[in-house]
Amino acid sequence: MPNPDLALDDLAVGDSWSGGPITVTEADIIRFAREFDPQPMHTDPDVAAQGRFGGLIASGWHVASLVMRDFVDTAPFGATPMLGLRVDELQWLHPVRPGDILQIRREIVAIARSRSKPDRGTISMKMTVTNQDGAVVLSFLNLIQMPARSDAGA
Amino acid sequence: MPNPDLALDDLAVGDSWSGGPITVTEADIIRFAREFDPQPMHTDPDVAAQGRFGGLIASGWHVASLVMRDFVDTAPFGATPMLGLRVDELQWLHPVRPGDILQIRREIVAIARSRSKPDRGTISMKMTVTNQDGAVVLSFLNLIQMPARSDAGA
C-alpha cells in the first residue's frame, strides 16, 4: 500500500504494511547503549557472554528507535502529517543480538474519528517486529493522530 | 532511597525516586533524529519553526531513551539485575524543546511476586517526566522483573 498522503478516510482496520529488513550490528548496539543504556549486557561483549543472555543484546529502546526510523523511511501514509500520541502493550519478547535481521509488520487495529474535531482522528497500529528466525522480538500498539477530510463527517 | 542491591522484598507501593536534571540540547535533538526519526520537526529548525509546534521538538523516542539513561545513572536499585519487560500508557503529552531541563519522578504502583518462580517478581513503576515549567512531557508505566529472596515466600 505505497499510497501517498493518505487521510483517515482512506484507511480500514486490517490494512497492513511491512518494514525492514533492518540489520542490527554489534557496533550499533554498543554505540546506542553507551549513550542511552550503559549496562554491560548492552555495551560489553565479554561481560555479556557471562550473563543471563549469553551474549550482547540490544537495548530495548534501541530496537524501538529502529522501528521509528523504519516508519519514517517506509512512510506508509506518504507526507500526511501524523503525530504519535501514545504507546501501549510494548513488550520486549526476545533478545535482539548482533547480526539479527529484523522485519516489521504494521496493521491498523482501530480507527476513531474525533467527535469534537472532525478534521482529525486516530488510528491504532499494531507493530510486530520479528527476527530472521521468525521470533517476535518486540510488539506494541501505537496510537497515531492523523488528518481526516472534513467533508467525510457530513 | 539510594539503597544498593534491593530485592523485591525491600520495596513497597508508593516508594519513589527522582531523576534528572537532564538538559536537552538542539544538537542532541538533531543528532538523535537524523539517525532514528528524521522528520523535519526534529531535524530542521527552520522548517520546524513553520510547523505546528513553532520550533524544533525532540523525537519522542529520544526523550524515552534519555529516561532510560537516567535510570541507569541513578540506579535506584543498586546493582540488582533487572529486566524491563513491558511498557504501557506511554504518552507524549507536551513537546520537548532545545534548552528544556527535565526532571523525572519514579514511583512504584504495583508489586507482584511470581507464583511459579518465587525467586523473582515484577514491579510496575510509573515514570513521570516534567520540564522546567512543571509541564508533564512524558509518562509511562514500566513493568520490571527483579529478584526476590527465595525465603520470603515461605
Contact A53, A96 (CB under 8 A): no
B65 to A36: CB separation less than 8 angstroms, yes or no: yes
The torsion defined by the Cα of A53, A56, A61 and A65, in degrees rounded to 10, comes to -130
DSSP-based three-state secondary structure for A4:
coil
Give me the pLDDT at residue A108, please: 97
**Smallest Cβ distance to B61: which of A65, A81, A91?**
A65
Give me the pLDDT at residue A153, please: 47
- Shortest distance, CA B89 to any CA of chain A (angstroms): 5
**Smallest Cβ distance to B37: which of A59, A68, A85?**
A68
Find which of A24, A34, A87, A144 to mutate to test the B interface (most B CBs within 10 Å of its CB).
A87
Give me the pLDDT at residue B2, please: 41
Note the pLDDT tens digit of each residue in A18-58. 999 999 999 999 999 999 999 999 999 999 999 989 999 99
On the question of pLDDT at B103 being above 70, the answer is yes
Single pTM value for the model: 0.93
Is the ipTM value over 0.90, yes or no? yes
DSSP letter string, B115-132 = SS-TTEEEEEEEEEEE-T
Give φ, ψ of B31 to 5 degrees: -65, -45
Mean pLDDT of B99-124: 95
- Shortest distance, CA A71 to any CA of chain B (angstroms): 8
B38 to A87: CB separation less than 8 angstroms, yes or no: no
On the question of pLDDT at A1 being above 60, the answer is no
Domain coordinates in residue numbering, chain A: 8-147
Give the C-alpha separation, B143 to A25, whole Å: 27
**For B130, what's the count of Cα atoms within 13 Å in the CB-facing half-sphere?**
9
**For A91, what's the count of Cα atoms within 13 Å in the CB-facing half-sphere?**
8
Task: Assess A90–B contact: CB distance below 8 Å, yes or no.
Answer: yes
**Smallest Cβ distance to B72: which of A37, A64, A89?**
A37
Gyration radius of chain B over CA positions: 18
DSSP-based three-state secondary structure for A55:
coil
On the question of pLDDT at A100 being above 60, the answer is yes
* Beta-carbon pairs below 8 A across chains A and B: 68
Task: Assess A49–B contact: CB distance below 8 Å, yes or no.
Answer: no
On the question of pLDDT at A138 being above 60, the answer is yes
**Smallest Cβ distance to A68: which of B61, B81, B90?**
B61
DSSP letter string, A91-139 = EE-S---TT-EEEEEEEEEEEEE-SS-TTEEEEEEEEEEE-TTS-EEEE
Question: Angle, nearest 10°, between helix axes B60-74 and A60-74?
Answer: 170
Chain B residue with CA closest to A143: the answer is: B91
Q: At B151, is the pLDDT very low, low, confident or very high (cuts 50, 70, 90)?
A: low
Task: Assess A50–B contact: CB distance below 8 Å, yes or no.
Answer: no
Chain A residue with CA closest to B39: the answer is: A72
Which residues, including other chains, have CB under 8 Å from residue B68's CB and lie 6 or more apart? Answer: A36, A37, A59, A61
B69 to A38: CB separation less than 8 angstroms, yes or no: yes
A72 to B39: CB separation less than 8 angstroms, yes or no: yes
Q: Which one of 3.40.50.800, 3.40.50.1000, 3.10.129.10, 2.102.10.10 gives the CATH number of domain A8-147? A: 3.10.129.10
For chain A, the average pLDDT equals 92
Give me the pLDDT at residue B78, please: 77
DSSP-based three-state secondary structure for A12:
coil
Q: At A154, is the pLDDT very low, low, confident or very high (cuts 50, 70, 90)?
A: very low
